[in-house]
Amino acid sequence: MSENQEKISKLISYWLRHKPEDGNIQLDQFGWAEMKSVITALNSKRFELTENQLIELNDSFDKVRWEIDSEKKRIKATHGHSISIEQELNSELPNKILFHGTASKNIAGIIKNGLLSGQRQYVHLSEDIEMASKVGKRHGKPFLIEINTTELIENGWEFFKTQQNVWLTKNIPSKYLEFNPWYFEFREERDEVLKEELTKEIHTKHQLYGKIDKLKLIGLHKPNDDCLFKDTESEKVYVIHPTWSGKMDRGIWPITKVYRSLEEWIEKRLLPDQNDWYL
């Protein structure tokens, strides 16, 4: 795609997804615009394009960006809207597992707030790991989040499938998300049980001696007993591996690794763990 075509593509998508008024374009309730109004808007920006050239440009994309109705001479963005439009898609039953690809820099916020559509109308999900990874790589180091759709459907979520196999749904709280191989949703009693055990195990010379009551359990590793604790008085987080011996050891046990922040833990521990998980 030439530089000129790229500029045209971004302009059209911007108008159809976000700001049709900036191009003096009117959308119907489903997001359709007259092709001639889009071409007129392009002309006002000194881009000359015919209807046939617009269709050829759409066909040249690796993925579907717009839907064109040649008979009615109209065009719409297939996804990514921040403006409110009605869905023409019928709700469908997705696979039991869908994936969301994102950048590692977004993980801390997603753990806290769940998957949010942001400026878009819907959260975008993928059917397979490969597609989700490509999405994540667009914004930084990729990270995959798994979504079990069965539980969501039971609780009222609907899913819509676009022409390019992107699944759309409303915001998803973090309790429905899986950050393999770690998880972040568990009963509060788990925190109490673990801290009681660590109090028995930690020796006076251990770096966490006398600090257990200041820690809060925030994550657990699925394949082993590693626990992620946050220091409630600082940004530090600790990965602790309890021995479950029920007694104090004068050595280095329980093995403990400290990270300056949750973000550092994500980069240095969570990302490598996930790479191993999906290999």
**Total of domains in the chain:** 3
pLDDT of residue 133: 94
- In-domain check, residue 87: no
153 shares a domain with 208:
no
pLDDT of 199 over the 80 cut: yes
Instruction: Please tell me whether residues 209 and 233 are part of one structural domain.
Output: yes
Query: Three-state SS for 179?
Result: strand
Residues 13-32 have a mean pLDDT of 92
* Helix and strand numbers, DSSP H then E, in the chain: 9, 14
Q: Which of 127, 120, 121 is nearest to 147 (CA)?
A: 127
Domain assignment present for 224: yes
Q: Does residue 3 carry a pLDDT above 80?
A: no
What's the pLDDT tens digit per position in 151-190? 999 999 999 998 778 999 999 999 999 999 999 988 889 9
- For the chain, how long is the longest CA-to-CA vector? 80
Domain boundary among 155, 179, 203: 179
Residue 250 makes CB contacts below 8 A (sequence gap 6+) with 203, 205
**Which residue, 179, 198, 225, sits at the end of a domain?**
179
Instruction: Using the predicted structure, report yes or no on whether residue 230 has a pLDDT greater than 80.
Output: yes
Q: Is residue 85 part of a domain?
A: no
Task: Give pLDDT, residue 1.
Answer: 56
**Closest-CA residue to 235 (of 218, 221, 247):** 218
What does the DSSP 8-state code read for residue 266? I
From 168, 65, 63, 176, select the one nearest 124 (Cα to Cα).
Answer: 168
Between 266 and 165, whose confidence is greater? Answer: 266
How large is the average pLDDT for residues 221-242? 95
Q: Which structural domain, as residue segments, surrounds residue 52?
A: 3-77
With a cut of 80, say whether residue 205 has pLDDT above it.
yes
Q: Which backbone phi and psi does 169 adopt, to 5 degrees?
A: -160, 175
Query: What phi, psi does 145 have (nearest 5°)?
Result: -115, 130
Q: Which residue has the tokens 């667009």?
A: 138
Same domain, 25 and 45: yes
Instruction: Give the residue with greater pLDDT, 246 vs 238.
Output: 238
5-41 b/e (C-beta count within 10 Å ≥ 16 → b): beebbebbeebbbbebeebebebeeebbbbbebbbeb
Query: Per the domain annotation, does 42 fall within a domain?
Result: yes
State how far the Cα of 50 lies from the Cα of 190, in Å rounded to an integer. 64
pTM above 0.85, yes or no: no
Percent of the chain with pLDDT over 90: 68
Task: Say which CATH number the domain at 32 has.
Answer: 1.10.10.970
Say if 17 falls within a structural domain: yes
Phi then psi dihedrals of residue 59, to 5 deg? -70, -20
The answer to whether 126 and 119 have CB atoms below 8 angstroms apart is no
Domain containing residue 110: CATH number = 3.20.170.30
Average pLDDT, the chain: 91
- Can you say whether residue 168 is alpha, beta or left, with left for phi > 0 and alpha for psi between -120 and 50 degrees? beta
Q: Does 15 map to a domain?
A: yes
Percent share of the chain, pLDDT over 70: 99
Mean pLDDT value across residues 129-153: 94
Is 250 a member of any domain? Answer: yes
H/E stretch holding 217 reads: strand 215-221
Which segment, 52-66, 80-94, 217-231, is predicted with the most confidence on average? 217-231
163: left (phi over 0), alpha (psi -120 to 50) or beta: alpha
Q: Where would I find the H helices in the chain?
A: 3-17, 35-44, 51-59, 107-113, 129-137, 149-154, 188-201, 262-265, 271-278
Per the model's pLDDT, the better-predicted residue between 229 and 2 turns out to be 229
What is the arithmetic mean of pLDDT over 47-74? 85
Q: Please indicate, yes or no, whether residues 230 and 195 belong to a single structural domain of this protein.
A: yes
- Please indicate, yes or no, if residue 91 is contained in any of the structural domains: no
